[in-house]
Amino acid sequence: MQYRCPKCQSPKIIPVAQAGGPTTRPVVPKSLVFLISAIFILLLLVLISIAMWIFGDGAGTTLQVATVVIFVLCLILGFLFYRDLPDFKISMQGFMQSQKKWKCRECDHEWEI
Ligand SMILES: [Zn+2]
């Protein structure tokens, strides 16, 4: 099993969609999707808070409460994802092994395993 480009040894390889034949896709756990969304919202809230501190009289109470709530949510989701991680790894490995055609992003070289 090779996860590097045979031509330039770059690890930046991407799977090429196989024509015909069922392609197994890795199962992305819902906790990861929610975690990414929550982190995105948290970043947004933090940015708004910082902007309000700079341009106004500081972040409002509602905003502060919302930031704390989302932060706690991120921690919970992080923990849930941590529990899903072993399954996710197995699913990803299954996908990598079933994937026969690869393409290198560095040198555009395509090959089949
Ligand atoms: Zn390459």
Domain assignment of residue 8, yes or no? no
Looking at residue 97, its pLDDT comes to 84
Domain assignment of residue 9, yes or no? no
pLDDT under 70: residue ranges of the chain: 1-2, 19-24
Ligand 1 centroid to Cα of residue 103, in Å, is 8
Looking at residue 17, its pLDDT comes to 79
Neighbours of ion ligand 1 (CB under 5 A): 5, 7-8, 10, 104, 106-107, 109
Ligand 1 centroid to Cα of residue 16, in Å, is 14
Domain assignment of residue 78, yes or no? yes
Domain count, the chain: 1
Q: Residue 101: beta bridge partners?
A: 112
Domain assignment of residue 84, yes or no? yes
Ligand 1 centroid to Cα of residue 3, in Å, is 11
Ligand 1 centroid to Cα of residue 40, in Å, is 33
Domain assignment of residue 113, yes or no? no
Domain that holds residue 48: 29-98
Looking at residue 19, its pLDDT comes to 63
Domain assignment of residue 60, yes or no? yes
